[in-house]
């Protein structure tokens, strides 16, 4: 297995679904000029491919897709559907698939393109598994109802015919799966800075993160 040496600024974020981690990671990426990877989108892409190509979906198929994967491939709005999210949570439990995804995540974390000053990655196991040496580790969270409402509005904006009750049920199901899976579960660790996005605007949440980062960077 390839060994990675930390040479750039690293920001690791873990969070449950729809807590706002992606939004904050994008703001961090833009402000500090860091490469941004939404690691959850990797599993969403694979879930989408499994739904679309159930007969072709095997480890060989996955390996070929991962070898050609680019961050731009993860921008497809179809990856945001509720069905894809539930399937992604199931796929993420597969150890072989996680190993295939791991290599791509590590390359983004430790070898970002030269135009970037480092990388920021969000997911479920980034702070302790992918970037254990990260300069900054955050755990962003909010209540299940708040997160479900955000996802509900997002899906409505995509003209998805789904009820809030269904989205809330899905969020709770995702939480149970993410926190309880045996392989790389979502969890709180002592070295994470806890950021609550409950009743917070995107900007106020970012300013909390920025304050923590600037304090250390300037010192």
Which residues, 6+ apart, have CB-to-CB distance to 41 below 8 Å?
A: 74, 79
What is the DSSP pairing of strand 118-123 with strand 193-196? unpaired
- 18-22, 40-44, 83-87, 167-171: least confidently modelled range: 83-87
Burial class from Cβ neighbours inside 10 Å (0-12, 13-18, 19+) for residue 182 reads exposed
Res. 61: pLDDT tops 90: yes
Domain containing residue 164: CATH number: 3.40.50.300
pTM: 0.92
Confidence at 132, pLDDT banded by 50, 70, 90: very high
Q: Inform me whether the pLDDT recorded for 169 exceeds 70.
A: yes
Does residue 2 lie in a domain region? no
E strands of 15-149, at which residues?
Answer: 35-38, 118-123, 136-141
Q: What is the pLDDT of residue 214?
A: 97
pLDDT tens per residue across span 186-213: 999 999 999 999 999 999 999 999 999 9
Q: How does DSSP classify residue 130? A: I
- Torsion sign, CA atoms 123, 127, 130, 134: positive
Contact yes or no for 17/175 (Cβ under 8 A): yes
Question: Which tokens go with 215?
Answer: 């304090």
Look at residue 4 and tell me if it is in a domain: no
> CA dist 149 to 17, 145, 160, 162, 170, Å?
12, 6, 14, 12, 12
> Given this model, what pLDDT does residue 160 score?
77
| Structure confidence at residue 139 as a pLDDT band (50, 70, 90) | very high
Asked, for residue 119, whether it belongs to a domain, the answer is yes
On whether residue 219 sits in a domain, the answer given is no
List Cβ neighbours of 164 (8 Å cut-off, separation of 6 or more): 148, 149, 152
Q: Is the pLDDT of residue 1 over 80?
A: no
Tens digits of residue pLDDT in 64-98 = 999 999 999 999 989 988 889 889 988 988 999 99
- pLDDT above 70: residue 120: yes
Domain count, the chain: 1
Please tell me the distance from the alpha carbon of residue 192 to that of residue 110, in angstroms, as a whole number: 20
Residue in the structure block whose two tokens are 């833009």: 30
Residue 163 lies in domain: 9-211
Q: Average pLDDT, whole number, for the chain?
A: 93
Instruction: Report whether 52 contacts 132 (CB < 8 A).
Output: no
């Amino acid at each position: 297995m390839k060994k990675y040496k930390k040479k750039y600024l690293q920001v690791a974020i873990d969070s449950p679904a729809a807590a706002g981690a992606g939004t904050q990671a994008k703001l961090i990426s833009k402000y500090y000029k860091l490469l941004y990877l939404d690691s959850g989108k990797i599993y969403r892409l694979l879930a989408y491919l499994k739904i679309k190509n159930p007969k072709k979906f095997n480890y060989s198929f996955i390996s070929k897709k991962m070898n050609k994967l680019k961050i731009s491939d993860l921008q497809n709005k179809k990856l945001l559907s509720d069905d894809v999210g539930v399937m992604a949570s199931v796929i993420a439990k597969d150890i072989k698939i996680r190993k295939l995804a791991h290599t791509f995540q590590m390359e983004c974390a430790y070898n970002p393109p030269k135009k970037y000053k480092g990388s920021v990655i969000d997911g479920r196991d980034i702070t302790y598994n992918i970037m254990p040496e990260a300069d900054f580790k955050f755990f962003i969270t909010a209540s299940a109802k708040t997160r479900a409402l955000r996802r509900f509005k997002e899906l409505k904006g995509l003209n998805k015919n789904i009820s809030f009750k269904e989205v809330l049920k899905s969020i709770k199901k995702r939480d149970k799966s993410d926190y309880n899976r045996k392989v790389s579960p979502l969890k709180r660790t002592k070295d994470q800075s806890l950021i609550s996005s409950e009743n917070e605007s995107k900007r106020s949440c970012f300013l909390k993160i920025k304050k923590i980062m600037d304090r250390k960077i300037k010192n």
